[in-house]
Structure 1
């Protein structure tokens, strides 16, 4: 395949994927790049944040979720300040738990991945829920739902999540289209 044909194929794929979402291609790209930039800045801001914390950074439409664990309130606040300073960040939901990351076992992390997978499968299977517009993150049994949806779609998604085994709590961080 020639370089030009490959470029056209990639461009058309990106446009097709963007057409399936209610976000622009630029926002989708930003959401892929922001977490890495923010994580890097958080790690540079404090050795304690880098070595004694588990900070998960997720972005959807410029809305950032900070989840995980950190042992001290000042580290939680520092992670939020660093995140807010990053260009392209519209809003920050700081859901870091004040506890050492070692308090969350490897089994809990496997359970989180299983919960997330189950939720994504159920959302995709329901034709009334726009699964492509919903990001699911599970941390220590807490499920975070992010995305651009209508209030009705958010309620349907929440009902689906409530039926998944192992979910301790649901935190809705949606932006509503209506």
Structure 2
């Protein structure tokens, strides 16, 4: 698929996701919020790890909803069994409580907790975050020196979170690209680091089954 075609598909999916997400007021969000699952064809995780990540996100979100109720809006995003928590909770003690709950979910290796105390983001902010995410993903596709599908992108209150299994070179390049997107306030990297040799070996292996 040509780059222009990929960008058209990406922006169309982002628009469709925006309509769906803004029409349903769901306080706890699974899988990186409003823009995820677009570029998975050449995922560097094994198929088993991808399935485990989906299970982690679902179980984590369900347990947090039971524990924190409707006053919390928590994104549960898992990549290769590393979980990122973003969003808002009602009380300071809920930040640590949420981390403890997710850490006990089956197959979770580690938790990066970036929750904040506050009122859940408004629909206008959520739509802005979705647009930023789609722009970052499109910019990664345009980059000739990166494999865009190696990155998982999430935006919360104009802060872009980048996840994936990448080399330091790829991490720095993707960070540079994300920082150059309009309205991005900050870029947070939640990467699993590979060496260039490990990356080369991944490229030589057949697709994981």
Match of residue 62 from structure 1: 81
Q: Give 1:51's match in structure 2, choosing from 67, 70, 75.
A: 70
- 1:1-80 aligned within 5 A: 20-45=42-67, 49-80=68-99
* Equivalent-residue separation in structure 2 for 1:112 and 1:140 (angstroms): 6
Aligned partners of 2:152 and 2:162 also within 8 Å: yes
CA radius of gyration, larger in:
1
Instruction: Quote the residue 2:177 is aligned against.
Output: 160
**Equivalent residue number for residue 11 of structure 1:** none
TM-score, normalised on structure 1? 0.84
Question: Hey, what does 1:123 align to over in structure 2?
Answer: 140
**Runs of 4+ displaced beyond 4 Å:** none
Contact 2:136 2:178 in 1 (8 A): yes
1:30 Cα deviation (Å)?
A: 1.1
Give 2:15's aligned residue: none
TM-score, length of structure 2 as denominator length? 0.72
User: How many residues are paired up?
Assistant: 157
2:149 and 2:190 map into 1 onto residues whose CA distance is 16
Does the Cα contact within 8 Å between 2:41 and 2:149 map onto a contact in 1? no
- Confirm or deny: 8 A CA contact 2:40 2:149 kept in the other structure: no
**How far apart in 2 are the matches of 1:143 and 1:19?**
22
d(CA) in 2 for partners of 1:18, 1:72:
36
SS in 1 for 2:58: helix
Unmatched 5+ stretches in structure 1 = 1-16
Q: Mind listing any 5+ residue stretches in structure 2 that lack a counterpart?
A: 1-38, 196-209
Against the structure 1 CA distance between its residues 153 and 53, is the aligned structure 2 distance closer, same or farther, given a 3 Å change threshold? same
1:145 is aligned to 2:162 = yes
Q: Which has the higher contact order (CA 8 A, sep 6+)?
A: 2
